[in-house]
Structure 1
């Protein structure tokens, strides 16, 4: 893996789950992980409830814009995390792929999205402990 691992988060609209995951990864890695995100059918804006629950964690994703997933993003990533994009995600041999089964926050209330956010945070912390084992111990202690 490269000195600075690259992680790509993918969901259909790139408006909720993948944006929350990218926000946590950027924040919790302290810039030691390159973070990309994209969607197979990007929405026109970030889910405002996702923005609100991330703000509760002190993470601002208001400036993020849903992006179309590109094969270039997949090619340059060490780890590709998909969240319900099915067969539309391009697959390249030699990449580490994980599919995180997470409820889509679209149309959900803030109380319904908080547990999704917390699940994403826990998964990001676990992934970080694998990508940056020694550094993660220091961060979390």
Structure 2
């Protein structure tokens, strides 16, 4: 049993927003937080514009693959952050939920994805400060 918090990012395709959020949290938290991501209807591959936008800030998400949201993954997560998955996201009593209203990067070029990436970083920094307060 681990004492570190687990965070699950969920969006529809698990190819853009949730992958960028997971990338930011892994980058900023190191191994202090267990990071998971999934989608209600996962795509075949990660959005290339999201990959490029993250590469520009030194974060490589090319090794990630879209995954189907599994009930057990959500149930075992401490924090569940949804990004437009609607009714497909399971609800568990006692879990911390946040719904981040973010533009969907699907079908957009890297110029349009950069502001989404940057907004996600800001939200991750706030989340991380709450999950692991400074000593």
The TM-score with structure 1 as length reference comes to 0.93
> Which ranges of structure 2 fall in alignment gaps of 5 or more residues?
none
- By how many angstroms is 1:83 displaced? 0.1
- By how many angstroms is 1:17 displaced? 0.2
1:8 equivalent in alignment to 2:8: yes
Kindly provide the CA deviation profile for residues 15-45 of structure 1, in whole angstroms up to 9, marking residues without a partner as x.
0000000000001001100001000000000
Partner of 1:70: 70
Inter-partner Cα distance in structure 1 for 2:131 and 2:49: 29
Partner of 1:54: 54
Number of residues paired by the alignment?
134
Kindly provide the CA deviation profile for residues 94-133 of structure 1, in whole angstroms up to 9, marking residues without a partner as x.
0000000000001111111000000000000000000001
Partner of 1:107: 107
Over the aligned positions, Cα root-mean-square deviation in angstroms equals 0.9
Partner of 1:121: 121
Inter-partner Cα distance in structure 2 for 1:96 and 1:134: 20
Partner of 2:33: 33
